[in-house]
Amino acid sequence: MHPIIMAAACIGLAGCAAANYANVNYQGIPFRDVAMPESAYRVIEKRGQNRMFVMNPTPGSLFGTVDTSGSGQLYAAAADRYLALTGRPHCRAVRSDFILPAEFEIFFTCRAGRT
């Protein structure tokens, strides 16, 4: 197989694996939209696992015409806002893992004795 075709296939498969990860881990869980000054985000929380899937569903972010990846900070801020809106201002995002453009998995922690 030609090296360029092989590289393209590997990149494509990595994207499929990331999309599959989100589907397997978050499928069927209700989402909540969170408005932020720069954009709106969609948040799906895995209750009891201190993690959530945060995506920016704006058309430019989904089709790659707008760079919304940042370093995960915008997505972590949206996660913090979600936590505050759901009555958990004592919880904070501690890690942002890139899944796909405009999609991050956010891990959070809460102060001892609070969930």
Average pLDDT, stretch 1-18?
A: 45
Q: Closest Cα to residue 98, out of 71, 66, 80?
A: 71
Q: How far apart are the C-alpha atoms of 78 and 83, rounded to whole Å?
A: 9
| pLDDT tens, position by position, 39-50 | 899 999 998 999
Letter for the amino acid at 4? Answer: I
User: What 3-state class would DSSP assign to 89?
Assistant: coil
- Identify the pLDDT of residue 65: 54
| pLDDT tens, position by position, 28-72 | 999 999 999 988 999 999 989 999 999 988 766 555 555 555 668
Average pLDDT, the chain: 80
Q: Is 9 left (phi over 0), alpha (psi -120 to 50) or beta?
A: alpha
Q: Is the pLDDT of residue 4 over 50?
A: no
Give this prediction's pTM. 0.76
Helix (H) or strand (E) segment spanning residue 109: strand 103-110
Maximum Cα–Cα distance for the chain, whole Å? 57
